[in-house]
Structures are given as C-alpha cells and as structure tokens.
C-alpha cells in the first residue's frame, strides 16, 4: 500500500525538529542552490547552527538572506516517517554573550573550529508525517 502524508501542526513539527540530530541547510551560493548537512539546536525560537571561517553560508547570513532548513526521519522498509522544513532569515550572531551561550549548547558533529554562529528565524514551519494507509 502506498504511503500517505498528513500535515503536522507547527508545534508538533518543531518538537520533531528539536529531537532531530542532523538537518540540511539550503541557501543560495553564487546564484546557485547549495545544501549542507549540519547539526542544530532550537533556542530562543530560532534554529542555531555553527560554521567555520570561510563557510559558504557566512555571506548569506551576513546579509540576512532567506534560507531553508530541513530535517527528517524516514523508514524505507515501513515507508513511514516525517519531514519538517523551516524557512526564515539567516543572521550571523555577533553578540558575544549570545554567541557564547549558543556555542556552549551546540557541539559540532564534524571536526574543525566552528568559530561562527548562525541563527535562522522560524518564519514558516511546515511538516508532514508519512504513514501507510490502513484499511
């Protein structure tokens, strides 16, 4: 039986996102779409990620560009899962106290110095649960 999708309420979508370990950040880089897998935390009604010096994301974050962040959990065998997409403005965190607080809450999952912190506003939150239809 083919799976079906059901829209998720905003709060449920954010709860699933909060529990996810890895997501994908989508942004424009040199007029082309770019996608990066990153880990995140939800704090202060924002998605918080960390980036290294020279990361392609830093330019759009300095400019307050609109980005998308997607996380999901899918079971290919059962054909079930969920997907959440957040669209919002990315901003480079420059306040030293906030940067310190956010960096303490988020250990990067890849190596290297992640000296920069980026916040993404939760302007548009959409989510879907994927399940198999029962008779």
Average pLDDT on 40-48 reads 97
Q: Which of 118, 126, 130 is nearest to 55 (CA)?
A: 118
Residue 106 lies in domain: 3-130
CATH number, position 72? 2.30.110.10
Q: Is 51 among the domain residues?
A: yes
The Cα 93–Cα 99 span in angstroms is 6
In tens, the pLDDT along 45-100 reads 999 999 988 889 888 888 899 999 999 999 999 999 999 999 999 999 999 999 99
Q: At 111, is the pLDDT very low, low, confident or very high (cuts 50, 70, 90)? A: confident
Overall domain count for the chain: 1
E strand or H helix that includes residue 34: strand 32-39
Q: Is 75 among the domain residues?
A: yes
Residues 67, 60: contact at Cβ < 8 Å?
yes
Instruction: Determine phi and psi for 88, rounding to 5 degrees.
Output: -170, 175
Q: At 3, is the pLDDT very low, low, confident or very high (cuts 50, 70, 90)? A: confident
Mean pLDDT (the chain, rounded) = 93
Does the pLDDT of residue 23 top 90, yes or no?
Answer: yes
pLDDT at 109: 84
**Residue 123: exposure state from Cβ atoms within 10 A (0-12, 13-18, ≥19):** exposed
Residues 7, 128: contact at Cβ < 8 Å?
yes
Q: Is 135 among the domain residues?
A: no
The answer to whether the predicted template modeling score (pTM) of the entire model surpasses 0.75 is yes
């Amino acid at each position: 039986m083919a799976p079906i999708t059901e829209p998720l309420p905003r709060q449920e979508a954010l709860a699933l996102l909060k529990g996810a370990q890895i997501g994908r950040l989508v942004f424009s880089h040199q007029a082309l779409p770019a996608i990066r897998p990153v880990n995140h935390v939800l704090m202060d009604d924002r998605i918080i990620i960390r980036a290294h010096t020279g990361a392609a994301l830093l330019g759009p974050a300095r400019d307050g560009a609109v980005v998308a962040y997607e996380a999901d959990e899918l079971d290919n065998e059962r054909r079930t899962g969920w997907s959440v997409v957040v669209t919002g403005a990315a901003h480079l965190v420059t306040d030293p106290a906030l940067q310190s607080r956010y960096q303490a809450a988020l250990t990067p999952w890849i190596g290297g110095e992640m000296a920069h912190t980026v916040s993404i506003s939760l302007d548009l939150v959409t989510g879907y649960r994927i399940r198999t239809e029962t008779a």
